[in-house]
Structure 1
Amino acid sequence: MKPSQFAKGFKARPDSTSSEKRTALDRLNAIDGIVDIQHAGQAAANGRSSAFVEDAGDIAAGPESEEYRAWRRANRYTAGQVIELLLKAIKPSPFNPRHFYLKTSIAELAVNLAKQGQQQAIHVIPDYENPGTFFVSDGGRRVRALKEANKDTVKAVVVDLPVGIESYKLGYDLNVQRDSQTVFDNAIVWRRFLDEKHFQSQRELADHLGLDESTIAVALSIAKLPETVMQEMVARPDRFGSNMAYQITRYHTARGSDATLRLINKITSDDLSTRQVADIVKGRASAQETPKTPGRQRYAQRLDIKLDGVTVGDLKSYGEDRLELRLRGLSREKRDELLHQIETMLQSGQINT
């Protein structure tokens, strides 16, 4: 791996084999698995004032880098331990897979954190060249919300992970699992990776991420859009996926930002399909008139669904006898809980079937 692939504050480690990449993810999973144990250990520490408690048995969640081991022992830190760090000591990673953070979403989370407190620790990586500071590995949204709520500290787990491009890949994989990674995040970050020569070509980037080169090419074409236009689509990932965003990019090239923003509003209000938008782009239909698609039924009513103040999908009614519920971005536990509740309602006769 080339030195240019690492920002200031990151130190290169030997090239990772596929087994080492799996070890990094396994280590993160292991850390999550022992957090509850460390909570109990902190309670037994009886309210010590220091952010770092004495290392209980020098426990580690697998093989460690020399730098992390030295830092951990110097600070008497046990791998997986949840500690409180000053928010001013936390900084974003230049290899963060996320670029867009919705202000409304951050504000809603800030209200929730102010009421209930931080329930889940973030993951941070020590900046070994600037002692006492940390890069966010996972939890950038919570950090922003805590600042919005005027908090001074954040609960964190300090992790030992490969950094630079490899830390990006790990964060990217985690976001994909959560369904929170958007094509717009990819567009901005992948364009920057190529501009900064972290990769020499689209193919090299595609090979590193394990993606088709066509996926990279579509994202890079979307990167030509102004961020103000992207912002209008980021809030509705269910409506603006890669294919729709690609058509928007083509329309923007021909018509400019103002017309594109009007089209985006029409897509949302009229629930246009990608095919309908493609017809508008090709000039087969006018953006002022919704093109007809045989067999496509217009919904009669639409209701946004929110969980903990955050929009996660919608409920649409069609005609007199059809409901369509679409939810995204749920944790597996929340998804299973909602599914169980719906099944219970059906079986109990609260809903006639």
Structure 2
Amino acid sequence: MKPSQFAKGFKARPDTTSSEKRTALDRLNAIDGIVSSEHAGQPHVNGRSSALIEDQPAVQEGPESDNYKTWRRANRYVPGQSIELPLKAIKPSPFNPRHFYLKTSIAELAVNLAKQGQQQAIHVIPDYDNPGTFFVSDGGRRVRALKEANKETVKAIVIDLPVGIESYKLGYDLNVQRDSQTVFDNAVVWKRFLDEAHFQSQRELADHLGLDESTIAVALSIAKLPESVMHEMVARPDRFGSNMAYQVTRYHTARGTDATLRLINKIVSDDLSTRQVADIVKGRASAQETPKPAGRQRYAQRLEIKLDGIAVGDLKSYGDDRLELRLRGLSKEKRDELLRQIEGMLQSGAAKR
């Protein structure tokens, strides 16, 4: 099968389970059955003219649901077109794969949208029971940032997809491909799926999502954590993947919230490994005095990095010859700009030598 345009360059976080990586990539290869890169003419919806956005995915022509066909004809909508919709008409999907949205990330994106405008359309699904409103299928972060930027409209592509597990799968796979889906999102959402009886057991949930049952079990264990504790880890996906979060969950079960928050701070400040935290959980080491394994180098200096007054990462120095830069929550534009600047500095330095 020819890989989907979304599947090209697929790269998940190292801590993402092999089951999640494999299954998400398999489904991404099939997403072209739902979205494609073909665009047609300019439609009107609710009296608003469309504004095309380059290189945006659109729905392929093919069998349509009766509801979508009726809505499309009533609104003279051509599948795959980007149109302007009122932000107040957009609402979260009950099957949104994301639960946590970092305020710092939303704030930075809002600044970017205020300056450059919306470059990428979101995907929405009509709420047929409440005409004139739409569920977000993909683009919840952009919707939140547009509201924070005091915008009144959003550019969107209306897709023919039932709001349910299928729309969840699509959003989940796109988030995994972008490296923005976290184990904490999975924990909260999967627990809700079971609590609301969308699935009768974690085995059924695992089978339906095409994941290993152990992946589901770890996430459901993490779901027992208070959200206040999860929030402290969500902001550092580079440090708190499923394995580390599971060890923190075990520690929380034994020691409670306050001690767990102190442990999380120590994990970040001392750059503890999952094995070190596991030793703390098992009582082999103290959370106050954790021995460093041989060969693990402690950084000499740490500089917190801020953009527009918001902390986005740090720069650490080790010994006389090593620097480590970690940034998070950046927009694609800001990330690419920083990469170009760093490459320019390195090339300039090489030329002088």
**Structure 1: which 5+ runs fail to align?**
1-20, 54-58
Q: Which amino acid in the other structure matches residue 293 of structure 2? A: T
Q: Map of 1:25-36 to 2, 5 A cutoff? A: 25-30=31-36, 33-34=37-38
Q: Which amino acid in the other structure matches residue 98 of structure 1? A: R
Q: Which amino acid in the other structure matches residue 202 of structure 2? A: Q
Q: Name 2:291's counterpart in structure 1.
A: 291
Q: Name 1:276's counterpart in structure 2.
A: 276
Check the 8 A contact 1:179/1:329 in 2, yes or no: no
* 1:71–1:304 distance in 2 versus 1, CA, 3 Å: farther
* 1:342–1:243 distance in 2 versus 1, CA, 3 Å: same
Determine whether 1:204 maps to 2:204. yes
* 1:328–1:148 distance in 2 versus 1, CA, 3 Å: closer
Check the 8 A contact 1:203/1:213 in 2, yes or no: yes
Q: Name 2:155's counterpart in structure 1.
A: 155
Q: Name 2:219's counterpart in structure 1.
A: 219
Secondary structure at the counterpart of residue 48 of structure 2:
coil
CA distance in 1, matches of 2:179, 2:263: 26
Q: Name 2:48's counterpart in structure 1.
A: 51
- Tell me how far 1:305 sits from its aligned partner: 6.1
CA distance in 2, matches of 1:65, 1:331: 35
Q: Name 1:130's counterpart in structure 2.
A: 130
Identity of aligned residues (%): 81
- Tell me how far 1:275 sits from its aligned partner: 1.2
Q: Map of 1:1-353 to 2, 5 A cutoff? A: 25-30=31-36, 33-34=37-38, 41=42, 50-52=47-49, 61-63=60-62, 64-303=64-303, 314-326=314-326, 346=346, 349-350=349-350
- Tell me how far 1:210 sits from its aligned partner: 1.6
Check the 8 A contact 1:110/1:149 in 2, yes or no: yes
CA distance in 1, matches of 2:248, 2:119: 39
Q: Name 2:53's counterpart in structure 1.
A: none
CA distance in 2, matches of 1:200, 1:60: 32
1:248-281 superposed Cα distances (whole Å, 9 cap, x missing partner): 1011111111111111111111111111111111
CA distance in 1, matches of 2:136, 2:283: 46
Q: Which moved more, 1:128-137 or 1:106-115?
A: 106-115
TM-score, with length taken from structure 2:
0.80
1:279-313 superposed Cα distances (whole Å, 9 cap, x missing partner): 11111111111322111001123345678988775
- Tell me how far 1:75 sits from its aligned partner: 0.3
Check the 8 A contact 1:122/1:142 in 2, yes or no: yes
TM-score, with length taken from structure 1:
0.80
1:14-39 superposed Cα distances (whole Å, 9 cap, x missing partner): xxxxxxx7797215541xx245x65x
* 1:23–1:322 distance in 2 versus 1, CA, 3 Å: closer
Check the 8 A contact 1:107/1:148 in 2, yes or no: yes
Q: Which amino acid in the other structure matches residue 135 of structure 2? A: F
- Tell me how far 1:52 sits from its aligned partner: 4.9
Check the 8 A contact 2:84/2:154 in 1, yes or no: yes
